[in-house]
Amino acid sequence: MIHVLSSTPSILNQFIAEIRDAEIQRDKMRFRKNLERLGTIFASSISARLTYEMKEVITPLGIAVVPVLQEYPVLATILRAGLPFHQGLLHFFDKSDNAFISAFRKHHKDGSFSIHIEYASVTDIENKVVILSDTMLASGSSMVLAYRELISHGKPKHTHIAAVLASVEGLEYIKKHLDQQDITIWVGVIDEELTAQSYIVPGLGDAGDLAYGIKH
């Protein structure tokens, strides 16, 4: 199942407009902050699909019975572009354990490239709900490799994949290569075009560079 959050009018669309805007992007702190804000919106939406239990809370005037999370999800992200978005998720799920996966592009002489997993720091995910996030879901290769790296450390109960921007091609790649029964996909907006270099168009550019500076 794929949820497209921009299909419902909300402040999310304002933040997406700002992270796309080439002029506003000049302010790295604002770019990161907008990704954090988007992370909180995604967290709120995903939280509606989690499991709750009733708890008695003692107030100054009595006892209130309220639904609380039965278990916090594990938050996993792909370094480095996913970090600000991940931080927004962490603002909501502040008791969550975290996992981090480093993926990089290896460029070849013919102009092509391949995706490789360089490093993974994974907490216990066995039979737990996992939210795997990245700012961009372009070709889908990084997300698929990151997911496979995660499940090499344990089998989650369910995985929510979250990305601010996604391409049609990337979503099709995920649907083709991952078990749809165990995965729910959440995206902010879907763009139609993907370049030969796997950049989403109109997209927003390189999210990692915009957040933290151009890498060499």
Joined tokens for residue 15: 């933040």
Joined tokens for residue 141: 């290769």
């995903």: which residue's tokens?
46
- Of 35-39, 101-105, 206-210, minimum mean pLDDT range: 101-105
- Of 49-58, 93-102, 107-116, minimum mean pLDDT range: 107-116
In order of start, what are the domains of the chain with their CATH numbers?
A: 2-212 (3.40.50.2020)
Contacts of 55 (CB under 8 A, 6+ apart): 65, 66, 67, 68
Beta-bridged to residue 4, according to DSSP, are: 187
**pLDDT tens, residue by residue, 104-147:** 766 656 666 677 888 899 999 999 999 999 999 999 999 999 99
**Band of residue 216 on the pLDDT scale cut at 50, 70, 90:** confident
In three-state secondary structure terms, 184 is strand
Contacts of 44 (CB under 8 A, 6+ apart): 92
Q: What is the phi/psi pair of residue 120, to 5°?
A: -145, 130
- The mean predicted confidence, pLDDT, of the chain is 93
Joined tokens for residue 178: 């991952």
Tell me which of 20 and 114 has the higher pLDDT: 20
pLDDT at 175: 92
Within 10 angstroms of residue 34's Cβ, the number of other Cβ atoms is 25
pLDDT at 112: 63
Q: What predicted TM-score, i.e. pTM, was given to this entire model?
A: 0.93
